[in-house]
Amino acid sequence: MAAARGIELVVSVQHSVPALRVEGDAIRRVIENLLGNTIKFTPSGGKVEVRAEWDAAGRRLTLAVTDTGEGIPEADLERIFDKFGQAESRKAGRKMSTGLGLTFCKMIAEAHGGSIRVESELGRGSTFTVEIPAQEETG
């Protein structure tokens, strides 16, 4: 999807990320949803970066998806995680999402005892960060 839109996709996984006990399919869907959203709202020639990092001391997995898209208006930052909460795109007044994908991401993060947050600047892009406390797999 990124290549078809002329968007550079960069994936960075910290070498120390261990195998973890998480609901794999659900976490995969969170990543896919965040990637789909960022690619959808990043213009051709832009960049999307996915990072996975493990904090061994804090026993937390951090997944971050950053884009160089249009950004999210500050007034919409909190409600985009609410069911049917949408932000309006600055371009052509279109809705930025259906209002369920980010709600799903929040539900999955919280079901794992974690959280999701967004930082955004209009005209510069957004970073969605999911943090999940996790137990390392043994054996």
Those residues whose C-beta lies under 8 Å from the C-beta of residue 21, and which sit 6 or more positions away, are 134, 135, 136, 137
DSSP, res 24: H
pLDDT one-digit tens code per residue, 8-61 = 999 999 888 887 777 778 889 999 999 999 999 899 999 999 999 999 888 899
Cβ neighbourhood burial of 19 (10 Å; 0-12, 13-18, 19+): exposed
DSSP secondary structure, 55-70, as one string: ETTTTEEEEEEEE-S-
* Mean of all residue pLDDT scores within the chain: 85
Q: How many other CB atoms are found less than 10 A from the CB of residue 98?
A: 10
Q: What are the chain's domains?
A: 8-133 (3.30.565.10)
Rounded to an integer, the average pLDDT of 92-120 is 80
Higher pLDDT, 78 or 131: 131
CA-closest candidate to residue 48, choices 56, 57, 36, 59:
36
- Does the pLDDT value for residue 97 go beyond 60? no
Q: Residue 84 — very low, low, confident or very high, per pLDDT cuts 50/70/90?
A: low
Question: What is the rounded distance in angstroms from the CA atom of residue 69 to the CA atom of residue 118?
Answer: 13
Question: Each residue of 15-28: pLDDT tens digit?
Answer: 888 877 777 788 89
CA distance 4 to 73: 27
Question: Strand, coil or helix: what is 52?
Answer: strand
pTM of the model: 0.83
